[in-house]
Amino acid sequence: MHSSALSIYKLLFPVLLGAAKLLNRLHPRLRTFFSVRKGLFEELEKTAEKLPPSAFRMWVHAASVGEFEQARPIIAAMKEKHPDIILFVSFLSDSGYNARKNFPDASAVFYLPPDTANNAKRLIALLRPDLLLLMRYDFWPNHLLEAKKQGTTLMLAAAVLQTHAPYFNPLLNSFYRTIFHLFDSIYTASEKDSTAFRELFGCMRVETAGDPRFDQVVLRSRNHARVDHLKPLFENLTVLVAGSVWEKDETVLLDAWQTLAKRPSLIMVPHQVTPENLAHLEADLLKRSLSSVRISQLNGSFDPRRQILIIDQTGYLAELYTIASMAYVGGGFGVNVHNTLEPAVFAIPVLFGPRYHNSPEAEDLAASGGGTVIHNGNELAAALKIFSDESAKRVATGEIAGRFVRERAGATAIIVTGIEREYAAHKRA
């Protein structure tokens, strides 16, 4: 049964979409949203007509790249067992699409079209998915309703019900109750989330699996070829890798780092590797009388004891943590901290700013003692001093971080078991 809130959504969304189209010339984000979706259905039609009609079709939807990373170990496991699976991947955000548009296991990677009933009917008719795996959140009712109507199995994975999320708004409870009841299976990140789904929304087909992102970071931690040439340069040195840093992170970090009598070698990885960001960072370093080298210009004269290494190319960060003694993860002085699991898996202390409450894994890492939350430069300087001067403390904190990740791995196997049941039913049909 559809809630009144869902009925209102179905009436209002086309109106709001029309208004957004009228305003898109004045708003760059809206303009991008519509422009990147031009020709979407035509491209999918070309792809769909070439695909075998009888193969099992799995559609993975992720809001952005972070949610897709949660899906990757699930995709890898299913593809390894069943190479014949047809995979579709959709994104809401342009950052997610641009990062994974060439994902090799997918027959098509595309932007999710605006959530109108007509778009949903057209998309589902093209994909004809046997299973939709939706990662964490990003619920678009018309697409979910149409997929359900056409017999697609709906699966929600890595589901999290955060305390301050709109799900708990009394005015929206019936809306989300209706949405959640569309799913045939819900795999949550924690037992707390499972309890909330059951008690607050009446969902009984819920299982606690954990977060597959833990499995993904464990898998990725085995890759290090990209940084093998750096390891001899930093051998026997204490190394601080500052990953995904924004301008505010850079200021707080450099202010703190410069106060240290015993400074760790520093590797800085800007969140956005653009000419403007790199120029700003290098200008700041120059004002501070600090020498730096870009990795693209690295040569035999580089000295990590007196020069900062700037990563001006993409694809390095996850592997850089293999040579780190400790990590600072950026974003915590902006909207939200970035990936804290990537460094934690290497059993090193992880430091980050105060805005981390949209990342349950960062909250739990801090609570475990493997993550250190800092609120200003003085706190960061104090933490860096301890981890630089006291190797035993650094190792002990790192072990907590590493154990935190290892103990939470295993979600992929649970979710894949559920997908396997659908795959087997499809083969029997």
Mean pLDDT of 343-358: 96
For residues 319 and 227, give the distance between their C-alpha atoms in angstroms, rounded to a whole number. 6
For residues 143 and 350, give the distance between their C-alpha atoms in angstroms, rounded to a whole number. 39
User: How many domains are there within the chain?
Assistant: 2
Residue 417 has pLDDT above 80, yes or no: yes
Query: Is the Cβ–Cβ distance between 147 and 141 less than 8 Å?
Result: no
For residues 358 and 187, give the distance between their C-alpha atoms in angstroms, rounded to a whole number. 19
Q: Considering the chain, what is the average pLDDT of its residues? A: 95
165 and 243 share a domain? no
At residue 1 the predicted structure's pLDDT band, cuts being 50, 70 and 90, is very low
Mean pLDDT of 211-233: 94
At residue 180 the predicted structure's pLDDT band, cuts being 50, 70 and 90, is very high
For residues 382 and 216, give the distance between their C-alpha atoms in angstroms, rounded to a whole number. 32
pLDDT for residue 4: 81
199 and 151 share a domain? yes
Does residue 352 belong to any structural domain of this protein? Answer: yes
State phi, psi for 121 to the nearest 5 degrees: -60, -40
C-beta atoms surrounding 36 within 10 Å: 15
Does residue 59 belong to any structural domain of this protein? Answer: yes
Mean pLDDT of 86-113: 95
For residues 178 and 187, give the distance between their C-alpha atoms in angstroms, rounded to a whole number. 17
271 and 368 share a domain? yes
pLDDT for residue 428: 84
Residue whose entry in the numeric block shows the structure tokens 């240290």: 260
For residues 75 and 82, give the distance between their C-alpha atoms in angstroms, rounded to a whole number. 10
Contacts of residue 365, defined as CB under 8 A and 6 or more positions apart, other chains included, come to 340, 341, 344, 350, 371, 401, 404
Helix (H, G, I), strand (E, B) or coil at 316: coil
44 and 87 share a domain? yes
Distances (CA, A) of 277 to 203, 312, 319: 46, 10, 22
pLDDT for residue 245: 97
Burial class (CB in 10 A: 0-12, 13-18, 19+), 99: middle
pLDDT for residue 123: 98
260 and 365 share a domain? yes
pLDDT for residue 291: 98
171 and 246 share a domain? no
pLDDT for residue 408: 94
Residue 3 has pLDDT above 80, yes or no: no
Residue whose entry in the numeric block shows the structure tokens 């004002």: 287
114 and 240 share a domain? no
Q: What is the CATH number of the domain that holds 360?
A: 3.40.50.2000
Contacts of residue 364, defined as CB under 8 A and 6 or more positions apart, other chains included, come to 404
C-beta atoms surrounding 273 within 10 Å: 17
Does residue 43 belong to any structural domain of this protein? Answer: yes
For residues 74 and 153, give the distance between their C-alpha atoms in angstroms, rounded to a whole number. 16
pLDDT for residue 294: 98
Mean pLDDT of 172-190: 95
Q: What is the CATH number of the domain that holds 108?
A: 3.40.50.11720
Does residue 156 belong to any structural domain of this protein? Answer: yes
Q: Which of 126, 122, 138 is closest to 57 using CA atoms? A: 126
Mean pLDDT is lowest, of 10-14, 322-326, 365-369, for 10-14
Does residue 7 belong to any structural domain of this protein? Answer: no
Mean pLDDT of 266-277: 94
pLDDT for residue 318: 92
Q: Which amino acid is present at 280? A: H
Helices (H), 221-374: 231-234, 247-258, 275-287, 317-320, 341-344, 360-368
Mean pLDDT of 71-92: 96
pLDDT for residue 27: 84
Catalytic residues, by residue number, are 67
424 and 397 share a domain? no
C-beta atoms surrounding 288 within 10 Å: 14
Query: Is the Cβ–Cβ distance between 328 and 241 less than 8 Å?
Result: yes
Residue 171 has pLDDT above 90, yes or no: no
Q: Is 52 left (phi over 0), alpha (psi -120 to 50) or beta?
A: beta
204 and 246 share a domain? no
Residue 230 has pLDDT above 80, yes or no: yes
For residues 360 and 193, give the distance between their C-alpha atoms in angstroms, rounded to a whole number. 11
284 and 347 share a domain? yes
101 and 177 share a domain? yes
Express as a percent the part of the chain with pLDDT over 70: 99
Query: Is the Cβ–Cβ distance between 157 and 70 less than 8 Å?
Result: yes
Does residue 21 belong to any structural domain of this protein? Answer: no
pLDDT for residue 24: 79
Q: What is the pLDDT of residues 119-150, one digit of tens each?
A: 999 999 999 999 999 999 999 999 999 999 99
Q: What is the pLDDT of residues 301-344, one digit of tens each?
A: 999 999 999 999 988 999 999 999 999 999 999 999 999 999 99
pLDDT for residue 377: 96
The residue among 307 and 24 whose pLDDT is bigger is 307
pLDDT for residue 120: 97
Does residue 277 belong to any structural domain of this protein? Answer: yes
162 and 63 share a domain? yes
Does residue 3 belong to any structural domain of this protein? Answer: no
Q: Dihedral of CA 124/81/72/49: which sign?
A: negative
Tell me the residue range of the domain where 84 lies: 36-210+410-428
Q: What is the pLDDT of residues 368-412, one digit of tens each?
A: 999 999 999 999 999 999 999 999 999 999 999 999 999 999 999
Residue 93 has pLDDT above 70, yes or no: yes
87-91: list long-range contacts, CB under 8 Å, 24+ apart: 87/58, 87/59, 87/60, 88/57, 88/58, 88/59, 88/60, 88/127, 88/129, 89/59, 89/60, 89/61, 89/62, 90/59, 90/60, 90/61, 90/62, 91/61, 91/62, 91/63, 91/64
Mean pLDDT of 206-217: 95
pLDDT for residue 238: 98
pLDDT for residue 2: 63
Q: What is the pLDDT of residues 280-299, one digit of tens each?
A: 999 999 999 999 999 999 99
pLDDT for residue 23: 85
